[in-house]
Amino acid sequence: MPGKPTWRLEREAWRSGYRRVAGLDEAGRGCLAGPVVAAAAVLDPSWKLVGVDDSKRLGRRKRERLYEQILRGAWSWSVALVCPQEIDRTDILSATLHAMGEATRLLPRPADFLLVDALELRGCGVPYRPVIGGDRLSVSIAAASIIAKVTRDTYMEEADSRFPGYGFALHKGYGTRAHLAALRAMGITPLHRRSFSGVGTHQHRLPFRETDEAARPEPPRALE
């Protein structure tokens, strides 16, 4: 298993003259339901953030503890959510890039350079560097991955009470066996991505209103 993320990529950007280097990552691209979420984080280079890692390699308790620390200690952070209807209208890659662009734009203290996990983010107006496996290499990208993951998990857990029986609090919208069984039994909700394989065949059963508020999430406000 690769080691923990480091500040190496941030230091390279600082040596090039950049000062506000943001890590940028997303959560939920592969889900069958729920929004795709992007987060940006600009960290203090003198901050000793212990234990930060790719959110997928962290247990829930540690991930949530780090999330709170990041929100309190980051120079700047933001988060953006794109709803399932927009994902279906375009495609998941376009929706993800839109969320990342919005997260960049919403930073209360703008970044002057971006470290982006894997994706090319053309047209955002900020110099950037795509980094394959960035959430396991860069502390800033890993911090953004934690913000995105915890934000999305919390959203899906809250959606579970609005759409009972689907198990959103457990699988967070991923295509688990239990989720697929619920789709077969009850049909789709406004949270489901109709354009995704495994969802579209159940469109004839829609037990909830098309305009349900839960399908159009509002992102939390970024902190100064």
pLDDT digits (tens, 9 = 90+) for 44-61: 988 888 999 999 999 999
Residues 147-175 have a mean pLDDT of: 97
pTM, entire model: 0.91
What is the average per-residue pLDDT within 32-55? 95
Top pLDDT among 197 and 28 is at 28
Assess whether 36 and 142 both reside in one domain: yes
CB atoms within 10 A of CB 45: 14
112 within some domain: yes
Task: Classify residue 60: in a domain, yes or no.
Answer: yes
Domain count, the chain: 2
- State which amino acid sits at residue 122: R
- Is pLDDT at 8 greater than 70 in this prediction? yes
**Average model confidence (pLDDT) for the chain?**
91
Residue 82 located in a structural domain: yes
pLDDT for 47: 87
Residue 216 resides in a domain: no
In this prediction, residue 122 carries a pLDDT of: 87
In 3D space, the residue among 131, 22, 17, 35 whose CA is nearest the CA of residue 83 turns out to be 35
Q: Which domain holds residue 122?
A: 8-159
78 & 108 share domain: yes
